[in-house]
């Protein structure tokens, strides 16, 4: 797991939670949330349970399910060092600089 995995899932979950609070979640949002969970936090039992509860509960009361997911994300990510965003940005910058497409001659 890279250093961006936990924040990546947290940000994705929070985005879906905000949409849910306003009853704006679409089918694609559920798919994206599940994909982010599996990609970035699949080994975390609490993240899996919160995601499943959100998907289940949002069928009946989307705003309440969104608030519960948002509360989970805030509590779940509270142990992330506040200096961590600089580490995440540095890793993203490194990935961008070493991306394979940068070597394409037609882009030079």
Domain coordinates of the chain in residue numbers?
5-80
CB 16 within 8 A of CB 33: yes
More confident residue, 6 or 48: 48
Q: Model's pTM, two decimal places?
A: 0.71
More confident residue, 26 or 107: 26
Q: Given pLDDT bands bounded at 50, 70 and 90, which one contains residue 104?
A: low
What pLDDT digit, counting tens, does each position of 50-77 carry?
999 999 999 999 999 999 999 999 999 8
Scanning 1-108, the segments in alpha helix (DSSP H) are 5-21, 27-36, 45-57, 62-76, 84-97
More confident residue, 40 or 86: 40
User: Distance between CA atoms of 91 and 22, rounded to whole angstroms?
Assistant: 33
CB 32 within 8 A of CB 14: no
Q: Given pLDDT bands bounded at 50, 70 and 90, which one contains residue 2?
A: very low
Nearest to 4 by CA among 39, 44, 46: 39
The tokens 């994909």 sit on which residue?
35
């Amino acid at each position: 797991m890279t250093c961006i995995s936990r924040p990546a899932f947290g940000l994705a979950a929070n985005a879906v939670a905000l949409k849910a609070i306003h009853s704006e979640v679409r089918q694609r949002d559920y798919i994206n949330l599940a994909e982010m969970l599996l990609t970035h936090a699949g080994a975390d039992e609490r993240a899996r349970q919160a995601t499943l509860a959100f998907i289940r509960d949002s069928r009946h009361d989307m705003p309440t399910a969104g608030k519960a997911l948002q509360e989970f994300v805030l509590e779940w990510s509270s142990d992330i060092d506040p200096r961590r965003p600089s580490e995440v940005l540095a890793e993203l910058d490194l990935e961008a600089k070493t991306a394979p497409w940068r070597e394409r001659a037609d882009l030079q």
